[in-house]
Amino acid sequence: MIKKLRGLKAIVQDVVEHGSLAVEKVQKETSNLPFDALELIPPLAVPIRGVRAIHDASVATVYGMIRLVNRVVGETVDVVLDGMEKVAESEAEILAAQETTDIVVAGTVAAEPAERPTLPERVTLVSETSPSTVVDSEH
């Protein structure tokens, strides 16, 4: 499951990374049309170049921040998934230890939990108030 989550995280990160690059490119190309037209007007050419530079810098900053946050979130998800793996490994080790732990029952040791000691065919019960009684046990 964690392997699948890592794969999903990688896909999402790639989509955000490449998608933001594509959208940034389209946005800059689209904004070039009005900037190019306005720069043809001599009195506006110099100020429009400044506005274009500010626009392009702000677009690059916004999409750059999107990619930065994408990387930080990806690293954070990796840390969480690493923690989940360690917990899963610890739980598996605990379960394995429980399965291989010897079970002590009535003075006998069973190597595996599936091996249950069987009761003898006849059990003698002794109590202080009554004489010994023999009881047949069922398996």
In 54-90, which positions are buried (b, 16+ CB within 10 angstroms) versus exposed (e)?
Answer: ebbeebeeebeebbeebeeebeebeeebeeeeeeeee
- pLDDT values of the chain reduced to their tens digit, one per residue, 139 residues: 899 999 999 999 999 999 999 999 999 999 999 999 999 999 999 999 999 999 999 999 999 999 999 999 999 999 999 999 999 889 888 888 877 664 544 455 555 555 555 555 554 555 455 555 444 445 4
9 assigned to some structural domain = yes
The total of structural domains in the chain comes to 1
79 assigned to some structural domain = yes
128 assigned to some structural domain = no
- Please state the pTM of the whole predicted model: 0.63
118 assigned to some structural domain = no
